Amino acid sequence: MTEQLRLMAVHAHPDDESSKGAATMAKYVSEGVDVLVATCTGGERGSVLNPKLQGDPYIEEHIHEVRAREMDEARQILGVRQAWLGFVDSGLPEGDPLPPLPEGCFALQDVDHAAGALVRLIREFRPHVITTYDENGGYPHPDHIMTHKISMVAFEAAGDPTRFPEAGAPWTPLKLYYNQGFNKQRTIALHEALLARGLESPYGEWLKRWEEFARPDRSITTHVPCAEFFEIRDKALLAHATQIDPDGGWFRVPMDLQREVWPTEDYELAQTRVDVSLPEDDLFAGIRGA
């Protein structure tokens, strides 16, 4: 393939792109790949998770604008392009019984209707590869699950001229992956390495919850080496200042340990229209040189 390679990462909220696959995107940008983040919602109902910023009346009143600025800063750090699909954050319902989702939110949209916006963006950008979430959303946030649903519809429909004819000329993406960066094997490896060094691990509770929720192991097909871009990943994540506590668990694992123990970001190949040989170390395997 002689044309520039293109990668689209579909995410639910601003900050998801920096916590899931950010080092991979930075790696591909460094290689000349054109990378676009599609952000489904504005994160309007996200809580302020950084204790240092909680209670700030300006942030609470203007959370949408604040998170948009954070997204722009993270985008620049990663070197990617970014587009908003324009849906409204559903929030994460809590309680027993769970409250209903707010009217008009992303998770309550008709799936085919909502997929139309992503189809239009796919046809405009023409990605060879798309990344998104699995059917569980990575974790069961209604916006993450909805992101999975519209991604699957759009991947199938974008190349079909009979579907969404108003959304532009057809384009057929070649591969679709699920982000699986928070897989059990990686979590155990980092946890055990920290304990072996005599360090406190932030993953003990994660592993207990894994057993509690009986989460099935996923099929990890693709390990992208990107350790030299972990620092860029962290800088992008910290740009989402309302969402990330710089003193929190995200940053308690020494960088040298991360690079030594688990130097990849990991994916599950969900759909492919090209021949592949698994496992892979490149999202564009089977596309490069074809």
Binding-site residue ranges for Zn(2+): 13, 16, 144
Binding-site residue ranges: 13, 16, 144
Q: Look at residues 271, 280, 187, 234 and name the one whose alpha carbon lies nearest to residue 77.
A: 234
Amino acid (one-letter) located at 105: C
CA distances from 274 to 33, 104, 269 (A): 19, 38, 12
Cβ-contact 153, 113 below 8 angstroms: no
φ, ψ at 53 (rounded to 5°): -110, -5
Beta bridge partners of 268: 178
Q: Look at residues 56, 83, 61 and name the one whose alpha carbon lies nearest to residue 241.
A: 56
Angle at which helix 204-213 crosses helix 184-196, to 10 degrees, equals: 150
Q: Look at residues 37, 17, 288 and name the one whose alpha carbon lies nearest to residue 174.
A: 288
